Each structure stands twice: as C-alpha cells, then as structure tokens.
Structure 1
Amino acid sequence: MNRRTFLKRFLLGTIGLAGAGYGGYYYAHEIEPRWVKIVRNDIESERIPASFDGFTFLQLSDTHIGFNYGLKELDDLIQTIGELDPDLILFTGDLIDDPSTITNQQYAQIIDKLSNIKSRHGNYWIYGNHDHGGYGTEKIAQVMSSAGFQLLKNETTKIQKDGDHINLSGLDDVLLGNPEITQLIDESEQDHFNILLSHEPDFADTTKNYPFDVQLSGHSHGGQIQLPIIGYIITPILGEKYVEGSFTLGQRPLQLFVSKGLGTTRLPFRFLCRPEINLYTLRKK
C-alpha cells in the first residue's frame, strides 16, 4: 500500500467513525426517546371477578417532564391514550424531573394537558422519588389533583363494576416518602383481587409477603441505556434487581410488572431501551 492509498483509507475510516458516532448520538438523543411502544400484557387470576374479565388499565410512568421530555411529547401521549381508550389509568410516579425548575406558567400548561386524559373508572397516581425531590411534594399533588388524578398515598380504593370490585392500593415513595404497606388490605379483603402501585420495583420483595396479586412499578427506566454483553447502564437504587418486564414472586403469587417508563433522567439518552406505555387486560382464570 502506497502512502497516498494509506492516507485516503485512514481519512475515510476517520470520517466513518465520526459519522457513526454522531449517528449513534443523534439516534439515542432524538429518535429512540420519542419512539414510544405499547406493551400489552394479560393478567390472569382466579380472584378476578367475572364482570372484570376484559377490563383494561393503562400504566404511565416516569415522564420526567423538563428533562428531554416536553409538552410536545405530552400531547403525543394524550393522543395515544385516547386511541387506546382504557377503563382505568394509573400513573406510577416521577411526573417532573426536578419540580424546583418548573415555572408556575409551565405547571399551568401541564395541568391543562393532563386534564385531557380520561378513563371510564378514574385516574390514579402515586409519588415517585423525583416528585418528592426539589420541594415538589405539595406542588405535584396540587398539579395532579387539578388535572383530575386521585392520589393514593398509603391508601386503598375500590374499583367497582357491575356489583363486583377489585382493590387498588398506592404506596408512598420508598426512597423519599413514608411507605406503609401493613394496613392497606383488610382481612376481609384478602381473598379479593388486589393491585399495588409502588414506584420502586425492588420493593416487591416486601410486597410478596402481603395479600397482593399484582404490583405495578416504574423507576428503573429499563436501564435507559442497554449495551450488548454489558447490559443495563443506569439502574437506580431499588431498581437494580427487577429492571424491566414481568416477574412472579412468592406463594400467592405476586405478579410484578416493571415499566421502562416514558422519559429520561441523568442522561438525555435511550439506547436499545424504547420508552413504553403499558396496557393490561384482566382475564378471569
């Protein structure tokens, strides 16, 4: 190989590497974080009442508005929810990435948009660690309430249909709140179908000891960046063991579902880890 050929190939190789690097950056920053997929799961149980067979609920999680997730993405999300038309909507925490950085005008816009999210049996939400952070505890509660979402903070509510009911419980955030699981399900309700919303998925190792059939969580973002062989790049505390997907724990058993969520935090990238909306359908066994 002569000098001219060597320099030509070296230059082309350098340009190729730079292009690949920029292309990877652009994809992980601009394309994949906005390439939302809908993940559908059937949940089977003998405890599901016959009238709830085919009942659907939609889980949203970890929008982290203000960090690479804005009002445009929120508009697209609302349109998708309307098309899916779920019976129940559940938000499992981390609405805003840093509540202290959002202005009152921006909060008003967020309320206006969230108010367009509708379902036949109500909208419920729980705190995530970012909701409590940045002095956001009261502000996020005000925003969600104004938008028509009911907070479940160590509380249980009955979702009723045709004379039957299932129980929906919500736990305060495990990292920055004061979670209390012991009194969520009365003894008289232990044989009913019981769902728990808990932001941090690894709390399922505690939940499995209580009379719950399902736990819905977020928090982990599915690792946010996944690399072949290496695996998950970003796994927060209490989102390290159960990072994504579904798991079966305990003797009842407890079915754990972990959403990859919609937004990003720490780094404004997603790679091989698309954001997701989770749609569940109840099936009486």
Structure 2
Amino acid sequence: MPGERVRNLTSWIFSRRVLIVLAAWIVLSALGTWRHHKRWIEYNASDSWTVVDSMLHVLVLPGWVAAKVTGGNYNAVYSLRWAIIVNTVGFGMLGIGYLVASGVSRQLAAWLRDSARVESESVDIDRRSLLRAAPELAAIAGGGGLVYATLIEPAWIHVRRHDVPIAGLPSEFDGLRVLQITDTHRGPRVTASFIAEAVRLGLAQKPDLTVLTGDYVHQGEKFIEESAALMAPLARAVPTVGVLGNHDWYAGSRRVRETLSAHGVWMVDNDRCFMRNRYALSRDAGGLCIAGVGDLLEDDVEPDIAFAGIRRDVPRLLLSHNPDVAEMTQLGNHRVDLMLSGHTHGGQVSLPLIGAPGVPSRYGQKYARGLVDGPSCRVHISTGVGMSVAPFRFGVPPEINVLTLVRA
C-alpha cells in the first residue's frame, strides 16, 4: 500500500498537467518580474506593453495587497525585491489553485463513475466530462472577466451630462457648458495617447469652460511635463481652471502647479478667478466665480481664503479634488452653487446589489460618483479618466463630464 501511494504521487508529480503548470509558473514569474521592473522601477516601459503589463499585474494583485499589509506599504510596488516575491508567490498560488481544483473535479468525476447506474450511464458520462473540464471552464470564465475589466472597460471613455440649476446665474452664463476632466493619472498605468483621446473627446463637446480636478500625474517627476502638456489643448481652446490632487503632491506639487500654469491652466488651490464673460478669466470680481481649495489629504483646505471678499450674490463653483471636503463645517459659511470633485474613481469596481465596495472616502459610497447633495451644497463627483491602485475597472468606466449651468 505505501509503495502504491508513492507510485501514485510520483506519477502525479510527473504528470503532463503538473509539468505544464510548473513551466507556466517559471515563465510567468520571470515575465511578471521583468515587466514590473521595466514599468514601475525603471519607468522605461513602452506604452505598447501597457496591456500586457496590466494583465500580469492583475493576476498577482492579491500578492501586492498582501505586500502592503505585511509591511511593504504603498511603495512596495517600486521595489524589485517585492516584485520578485509577489510574482513568484502569486503565480505559484494560481498554479496550486488550478491543480487543487483539477484534482477535486477528477475525484468527483470518479465518484460519479463508481456510483453510476447502468440505465443512466450516458448522463453520468456527461457529468463526468463536465466535472473534468470544470477547472478549464472556470479559468476561461475568470480570464474573460479579467480581460473585460483590464482591457475593455478601462479603454471605453463615456461622456456624462447633467444640467445644474443655479439661482441668480447671470443671463450671459445661462447654458454655460462646463467640461470636467479629472484623475488622468499619467504614469505606468495610463498612456499619453489615452489621455489625449479624453481631451479630444472633451473638446468635441464644445465646452465654454474646462475644470480640472487633480491627479494629473500618478507619481514621480518623470511624467509631470507630459501630463501638463496633455492639458494644453484645453487651455488653448477655452478658459481652463484647475486644482491639484493628492498624487500631484506625491510627484511634486510645486513643479506640477508651475508646469500646468505654464501650459495655460489657471490654478486655484485656495484661490479663485472669475469669468466676466464666456471667453476669458480674470482676477476682477464679478460674473461667475471659480474657486478652489487644497487637497484634503496633502494640503490645507482654506475656503475662507478662496472666497474672501466675494459678494454673496456672485454665483460660484468650487473645485476640490477630494469630495469629502463637502462635509467640512466651514464650507457652510460660504455660498457654493456646485462643488466639482474627483479622487474616488467611483471605486473602480461596482457590483450588482452591492455597489462600489472600495470607495476612498470617509463617507462610504455617498461620494462615489455623480451628482450628490452635500450638507451645504451640491457635489459632482467624476469617476475620472485613469486608474490608480489597480489597473482595472468593472461597472465604473472612465468618463469625462459636461455640466450645463442653467438659470434657476
């Protein structure tokens, strides 16, 4: 009996299925580590590899989550040591999971065979065939879901439109079309060509004003100039106003702000500007005020400074990268007709009946996306163009937004 078990174990170890899984583990671990090093550590990956790199990253995403939990923190993604560990362990666990599922399905098929009745033999054969194929079918279904969430939905930019009534809106601004673009996250996950397409799509909506609500660059100085230059066509076409997001602070807030300004974007972090007509911005009060506050996570939020000295009858928009600012009590001291935000990406994943389980907000799904009533003002949250923590979207496609201001 022990000898038979040893023979069975040896036969299993050297079976074709196990050898294929072992070879796939070695190849994918090496490929995943190499591609991660090129994209996240050297910052030297071609945009043409983005799709492949995203798929490899998603396959071992649980490993990156574990790396963060066990001490790797957010910067683990920039470590070659962690890249080797995560890819080796991650693809190994996928292989083990496949072999376990395969073994279970084979045992169930054998049990059905042994317990089959003669009169239902044909049915049992079908059941056994299905059980034997279960691991492959599960892999195909899971792979299809990953392909959709990684390659299809993130590349499908939607245009969302809302009409926003504003009391006392001057007649010259009735029907003003405000284009909001946010969270482009130029960097390892998001290509320049994709952001350029979002900008082209935005300009095709014929906006009168563009507002940019932060996270132009994912992290690191390499992409700052390019991320700002991608916004230049907007600033050349229409008045364009922006604030910084938390990732812009990670990259270098001063340089991001200065570079955007050099490309024509009027930056209003804890500041403001005015549209006195549909064609230009001004520091002179009047018309429509476009104010901004600093990022909630990395900067000071100073609405008192942004709105200082403005008459109460002047309608105003407020740009805040983080929508949680809407809950700050000091915001209630000022007139705000509409706050525009990003940051949440809509959670990037939204499931039927559950919604978005991973919204980066202190208030759960309240500020995930869309038009929301805050304590003192309406808030519009865009799901944004790019991606941050993970290179996929499901049920939350990228978007740009057109908000038409109408006189209430």
TM-score by length of 2: 0.64
Q: How far did residue 209 of structure 1 move?
A: 3.9
What residue is the counterpart of 2:134 in the other structure?
13
SS at match of 1:182: helix
Give the C-alpha shift of residue 48 in structure 1: 0.7
- Cα 1:187–1:147 change in 2 (3 A) is closer
- Superposition deviation, residue 159 in structure 1: 0.9
Aligned-partner residue type, residue 28 of structure 1 = A
1:145 counterpart residue number: 261
Moved more, 159-168 or 25-34: 159-168
1:117 aligned residue (221, 230, 234): 234
Q: Is the 8 A contact 2:235 2:265 kept in 1?
A: no
Alpha-carbon offset, residue 6 of structure 1: 3.3
Contact 1:201–1:238 under 8 Å retained in 2: no
CA–CA separation in structure 1 for the residues paired with 2:140 and 2:311: 60
Secondary structure in structure 2 of the residue aligned to 1:11 = helix
Gap regions ≥5 residues in structure 1: none
SS at match of 2:204: helix
Q: Which residue of 2 aligns with 1:236?
A: 360
Aligned residues: 278
- Give structure 2 stretches of 5+ with no counterpart: 1-119, 279-284
Say if 2:272 and 2:306, in contact at 8 Å, map to a contact too.
yes
C-alpha distance in 2 between matches for 1:107 and 1:186? 31
Structure 1 residues 155 and 109, CA gap change in structure 2 (3 angstroms): closer
In structure 2, distance between residues paired with 1:227 and 1:201: 22
The alpha-carbon deviation at position 117 of structure 1 amounts to 2.1
Higher relative contact order (CA 8 A, sep 6+): 1
Query: Partners in 1 of 2:226 and 2:343 — Cα distance?
Result: 24
Q: CA distance change for structure 1 residues 178 and 254 in 2, over 3 Å: closer, same or farther?
A: same
Q: What pairs with 1:43-122 in structure 2 (closer than 5 Å)?
A: 43-98=164-219, 100=220, 102-103=221-222, 106-118=223-235, 121-122=238-239
Relative to structure 2, which stretch is displaced further, 106-115 or 189-198? 106-115
Residue 36 of structure 2 corresponds to none
1:156-207 deviation per Cα after TM superposition (whole angstroms, max 9, x unaligned)? 1111117961111011111101121113224552121111001111111223
Amino acid at match of 1:190: R
Identical counterparts, % of pairs: 29
Sort the Cα spacing of 1:137 and 1:32 in 2 relative to 1 into closer, same or farther, 3 A.
same
CA contact (8 A) 2:224 2:259 kept: yes
Higher-Rg structure is 2
Query: What are the superposed Cα offsets for residues 131-177 of structure 1, whole Å, 9 maximum, x if unpaired?
Result: 1114x112211331232211111001111117961111011111101
Which structure carries more helix by proportion? 2
Measure the CA separation in 1 of the matches of 2:217 and 2:310: 37
Q: 1:112 to 1:61 in 2, by over 3 A?
A: closer
1:191 aligns with 2:307: no
Establish whether residue 266 from structure 1 lines up as the match of residue 403 from structure 2: no
Query: Which whole-Å CA distance do the structure 1 matches of 2:289 and 2:400 have between them?
Result: 22
Aligned partners of 2:292 and 2:318 also within 8 Å: yes
Q: What is the CA distance between 1:130 and its match in structure 2?
A: 0.7
Q: Match of 1:169? A: 291
Mapped contact 1:89–1:119 kept (Cα < 8 A): no
CA contact (8 A) 1:203 1:238 kept: no
Distance 1:212 1:197 in 2: 10
Alignment CA distance shift 1:119-1:89 (3 Å): farther
